[in-house]
Structures are given as structure tokens and as C-alpha cells.
């Protein structure tokens, strides 16, 4: 007998987690209950990522495992999101047993499509759908911190990036729909909201720009903590930076992808800013909110990256002293501008060496930056326990740093003052401050 239960697992970025929250709400409205084990699910859903070939390999591997849970016609296996969008029918051919392949703009239709299924795999990947998808206010992935999508798609076409081809052009949600989602989530106890989009800084709905949207969220919702991701440096306005000075509910953390410290490489990547402009933004941010935590993304070994270009990235990292960074070596992503037009000319060995040096440098900087937290009291939202030790609470500072703390009190879901006792490169350790 078909069970009206669903198992949903997400790979990839915050956009995927936010999409999964909306889909969960849609599934539950259609009468499906969530289960944590695919063995107990009538509908098994994998929300996929396509940003790198490795991410796709992982998703394909997981999908091959998930089809083994099929019990004849009583279980549906669904691949949704970016990899489903990119592969379409090829995915159905590659992994027999997948019943639904729904792209980035069809995934919310899954509950309706489940009712209409007639046997053959359903493949839906059309783009350009009108997206006022917020009919289902999202289910939070975490009961205390949640993502709310404000834009979908991207118009930037950075040379190395597949996202605009998979998520289509930028579309911006109505401010009222965003406020409604946030009020829905805070009503469920969520304290920390991250506004998400591929490039939130370019948000524009009629007269509402991104800084105006943030003001509206502050004025019209009771959410305690507000964050946003991802910011493109070319669109980060001074008006937005000023909010860090005036709005304490806007948390002191910004993820600002630099990608390279070389203007030549930035130009080849079509990033449309210079390293000097990035440095000016960092100065302004630190004036507006002293101590703001800055994190970034960096790519080494982009086509044509000379030793000098690479050193400029190291210099930029030394200059800015990011709190943390996601660091990658360039790999060709088929379908992108770079894959079609540039020669991947940096030997793998050299890319790996550059990456390792960069990781070592950033690790040292992260360690030093985190030592400044020792002795300070930070407000920490406790959202769970340590993966290694369930007796140890885990939470996040306003600067988005993970804090582990021991306490006999039940701290779950509370924002508590924590004195930081020690720090390593990635984690702070503390105790509740009296």
C-alpha cells in the first residue's frame, strides 16, 4: 500500500535548503508526513546540487542507493533541483527507477504531479515559470534558524559558474510575501532568519531595494536576528553597509566572495570589481560594524592564473584577514563560459599546491582572528548539541561562529551570553556567562 510519507534530503547551498523548506510545506499541506528514514517513505526526494562535478557524482551515488528502497509501485523516487535541471531525461536513463525528475522551477509541483503519475518517469525542466511560489510558507529546516528566499536565479554569468543556466534569470519576490514567510517562521519559534538568493544585493521589487527590504523586515517582523547570503561585491551598496552601523538586529557577519586577488583574473572571471574596490568595501564594513565577521570564497588555478596572480590572492587574504573562507581549485564545469572558451592550463599538481598553501594561510589567520574572541562575552543562539558529544551544547554567535559549551541547564532554542574560554581555527569553546 502506498504510504503518504516522504523522506527529503538536500545537497548544496542555502537556496536548496530554502527550496526544501517550501517543498516540505507543500507536501505536508497535501497530506504527506515527513520521515527520517527512506525505508519508511512512500516518496523519497533528493534535492540535488550541480555546482561542481563532484557534487553531481555524490548526488548520483546517493540516488543509486535510494532507488534500492523502492517497493514496486508503492514508492516514488524523485530527483529535484539543479542536477535534475541539468540532466533531465539523461538522469532517468542513467538511474532506472527514478520516477520524477523536476528542475529548479518545477520542484514545488511535486505533490500535484504525484497524484497524476501514470507510470513513465516524469521529467519537467522548463524554465521561465512565473514564480510566486510562496503559497506554502516554508517549514524551517532548523527550528530556531531558517532561510527565506528573496530572489531566484542570477544575471551575472560569472565565467566559471553554471548557476545562471540552471536557475534562470533573476526574479525578485514581493516584499509582502517575504514578510509573511518571516512572520510565519517566527510564529513557529524561529529566532534567526537568513535572507537568501544567488545575489541578494541586486534585489529590487518596484521601489524596494535590498537595504529597504531589510529595513522593512526589521520594522514589520519580530525576528531577533537577520542575516543574508550571498552578496556580490559589485552590488554591495554603501546604503546597505550603513545598516550594519544602525541596525543591531542585523547580525555582524557578511559572506562576500572575493574569488581572486588579481584584477586580471577577476576580469577573466567576469566578476566586474577590482581587488581595490573589494578592499574599500571591507574598510567601510569595518567602520560601520567594528569586529564584523567576514567570510569569503576563493578559487585558485583559474585559467591563465600566473604565480603573480596567485600571490595577489595570498596578499589580499593577508590584507583582509577573513574570519573564514571556502577555498577551491578551479575545475572545468561543462556548460559554462570558461569551459567553452578558456584552456584549463594550470597543471593539477600546481593547483593543489596553491590550494594547500592558501588553506594553510587562512587556517592560521582564522586561528589568530578567533583568539581575539577569548575572554569576550558573545550572545549565542543554542540550536543543538555537538555531533561528537551530545552532552555539549552547540550554537552560533552573531558573527556566525560555531560555539560549543557545557552546561547542565536546558539551553536549546535560547540566546544566551557565553564567555569564550578558548578558540581554534573553526570553533569557539565557552561557558554561560553569569
Q: Report the residue from 172, 173, 227, 232 that binds ligand SF4 according to the rule CB under 6 A.
A: 232
* Contact positions with ligand SF4 (CB under 6 A) in 116-155: 154
- Considering beta carbons, is residue 163 or 358 the nearer one to ligand SF4? 163
Smallest gap from Cβ 152 to ligand SF4, in A, equals 11
Q: Report the residue from 199, 313, 370, 400 that binds ligand SF4 according to the rule CB under 6 A.
A: 199
* Contact positions with ligand SF4 (CB under 6 A) in 151-190: 154, 156-158, 161, 163-164
Smallest gap from Cβ 334 to ligand SF4, in A, equals 15
- Considering beta carbons, is residue 158 or 281 the nearer one to ligand SF4? 158
Smallest gap from Cβ 158 to ligand SF4, in A, equals 3
- Considering beta carbons, is residue 106 or 198 the nearer one to ligand SF4? 198
Smallest gap from Cβ 53 to ligand SF4, in A, equals 16
The answer to whether 244 and 289 have CB atoms below 8 angstroms apart is yes
- Considering beta carbons, is residue 199 or 296 the nearer one to ligand SF4? 199
- Considering beta carbons, is residue 232 or 289 the nearer one to ligand SF4? 232
- Considering beta carbons, is residue 121 or 301 the nearer one to ligand SF4? 301
Give the binding-site size for ligand SF4 (rule: CB under 6 A). Answer: 10
Give the x-and-dash track for 295-334 against ligand SF4 (CB under 6 A).
Answer: ----------------------------------------
Residue 198 binds ligand SF4, judged by CB under 6 A: yes
Binding site for ligand SF4 (CB under 6 A): 154, 156-158, 161, 163-164, 198-199, 232
Amino acid at each position: 500500500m502506498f504510504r503518504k510519507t516522504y523522506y527529503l534530503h538536500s545537497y548544496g547551498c542555502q537556496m536548496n535548503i530554502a527550496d526544501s523548506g517550501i517543498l516540505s510545506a507543500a507536501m505536508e499541506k497535501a497530506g504527506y508526513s515527513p520521515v527520517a528514514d527512506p525505508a519508511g517513505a512512500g516518496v523519497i526526494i533528493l534535492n540535488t546540487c550541480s555546482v561542481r562535478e563532484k557534487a553531481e557524482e555524490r548526488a548520483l551515488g546517493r540516488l543509486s542507493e535510494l532507488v534500492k528502497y523502492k517497493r514496486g509501485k508503492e514508492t516514488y523516487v524523485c530527483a529535484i533541483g539543479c542536477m535534475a535541471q541539468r540532466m533531465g531525461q539523461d538522469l532517468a536513463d542513467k538511474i532506472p527507477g527514478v520516477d520524477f525528475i523536476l528542475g529548479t522551477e518545477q520542484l514545488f509541483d511535486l505533490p500535484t504531479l504525484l497524484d497524476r503519475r501514470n507510470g513513465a518517469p516524469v521529467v519537467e525542466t522548463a524554465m521561465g515559470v512565473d514564480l510566486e511560489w510562496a503559497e506554502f510558507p516554508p517549514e524551517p529546516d532548523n527550528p530556531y534558524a531558517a532561510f527565506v528566499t528573496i530572489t531566484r536565479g542570477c544575471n551575472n554569468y560569472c565565467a566559471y559558474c553554471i548557476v545562471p543556466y540552471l536557475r534562470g534569470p533573476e526574479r525578485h519576490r514581493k516584499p509582502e510575501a517575504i514578510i509573511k514567510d518571516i512572520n510565519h517562521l517566527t510564529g513557529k519559534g524561529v529566532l534567526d532568519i537568513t535572507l537568501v538568493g544567488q545575489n541578494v544585493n541586486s534585489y529590487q521589487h518596484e521601489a524596494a531595494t535590498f537595504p529597504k527590504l531589510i529595513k522593512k523586515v526589521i520594522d514589520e517582523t519580530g525576528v531577533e536576528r537577520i542575516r543574508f547570503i550571498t552578496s556580490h561585491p559589485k552590488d554591495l551598496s554603501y546604503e546597505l553597509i550603513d545598516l550594519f552601523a544602525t541596525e543591531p538586529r542585523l547580525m555582524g557577519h557578511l559572506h562576500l566572495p572575493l574569488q581572486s586577488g588579481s584584477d586580471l583574473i577577476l576580469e577573466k572571471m567576469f566578476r566586474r570589481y577590482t581587488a581595490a574596490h573589494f578592499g574599500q568595501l571591507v574598510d567601510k564594513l569595518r567602520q560601520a560594524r567594528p569586529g564584523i565577521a567576514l567570510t569569503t570564497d576563493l578559487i585558485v588555478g583559474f585559467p591563465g592564473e600566473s604565480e603573480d596572480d596567485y600571490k595577489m590572492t595570498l596578499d589580499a587574504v593577508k590584507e583582509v584577514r577573513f574570519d573564514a573562507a571556502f577555498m577551491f581549485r578551479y575545475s572545468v564545469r561543462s556548460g559554462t563560459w570558461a569551459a567553452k572558451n578558456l584552456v584549463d592550463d594550470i597543471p593539477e599538481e600546481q593547483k593543489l599546491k596553491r590550494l594547500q598553501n592558501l588553506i594553510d594561510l587562512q587556517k592560521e589567520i582564522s586561528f589568530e582572528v578567533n583568539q581575539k574572541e577569548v575572554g569576550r562575552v558573545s550572545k549565542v543562539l543554542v540550536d543543538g548539541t555537538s555531533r561528537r558529544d551530545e552532552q555539549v551544547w552547540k550554537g552560533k554567535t552573531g558573527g556566525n561562529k560555531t560555539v560549543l559549551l557545557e552546561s547542565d541547564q536546558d539551553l536549546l532554542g535560547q540566546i544566551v551570553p557565553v564567555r569564550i574560554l578558548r578558540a581554534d581555527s573553526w570553533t569557539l569553546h565557552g561557558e554561560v556567562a553569569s
